[in-house]
Amino acid sequence: MSKKTDTTRRAIVGATLGVGLGIGSLSLLAPVISLRPKKVVNPEDEPPKEGDLLVFATGDKTGQEITIDDLPLGGPEVLAYPKDPQSGVVKSGEKNNLVLLIRLDPAELSEEVKQYAADGTVCYSAICTHLGCAVGEWDAQRGLLLCPCHKGLFDPRKGAEVVGGPPPRPLPTLPIKLENGKPVVAGGFTSPPGVLAGTEAAGGSCTI
């Protein structure tokens, strides 16, 4: 056997052993990897999902399910959290789960808003897209949602588009439907709720 052939054979054997050992090491690692704790999401932090009910987030009725009769026609808005109807868990652990409900004349809603609304009632994220304050005030004169922190104004008839102040984008919509006289979540947010990455670092944040 030539010297060259012998060297090649040793290289092949070495590579085969290396692969074998590699596979062996990986199979040894597998149980360790599977033992790593999985990321557990607290049920209170889960995002809203189809079928969730909506409960009062503030006031005397905190935690009670909201009915359409609780929403005054023409505003103001009511702050709410989603509630899992099966487990009864109110999803108040995640700041971006705070939403607002407002009942308006269906004839005033834009065509796009109508597809996410139920009988004139619309639901938006209540976390201001500027620096994260709660959009919890109502400008009754102009019929606009008001964020008190820096006077951000949103038009609930037109998809919560920004009509005043510094917010960089509309409030995301949470589609709803009506079931037994109650507004119920019909799907996820149309865009990510809250302050988008980068904005907070640049300008600080508000507290609710």
Report in angstroms how near the CB of residue 167 gets to ligand FES at its nearest.
Answer: 5
CA distance 179 to 132: 31
CA distance 52 to 85: 6
> Strand, helix or coil at 168?
coil
Binding range to ligand FES, per CB under 6 A, among 13-21, 75-83, 98-106, 129-137: 129-137
Report in angstroms how near the CB of residue 152 gets to ligand FES at its nearest.
Answer: 3
Enumerate residues 6+ apart whose C-beta is below 8 A from 72: 103
Candidates 71, 99, 123, 149; binder of ligand FES (CB under 6 A) is: 149
CA distance 96 to 48: 10
> Strand, helix or coil at 179?
strand
Kindly identify the residues of this chain, within the stretch 152-191, that bind ligand FES according to CB under 6 A: 152, 165-167
Residue 98 within binding range of ligand FES, rule CB under 6 A = no
CA distance 132 to 110: 26
Report in angstroms how near the CB of residue 166 gets to ligand FES at its nearest.
Answer: 5
Report in angstroms how near the CB of residue 65 gets to ligand FES at its nearest.
Answer: 28
* Site of interaction with ligand FES (CB under 6 A): 128, 130-131, 133, 147, 149-150, 152, 165-167, 206
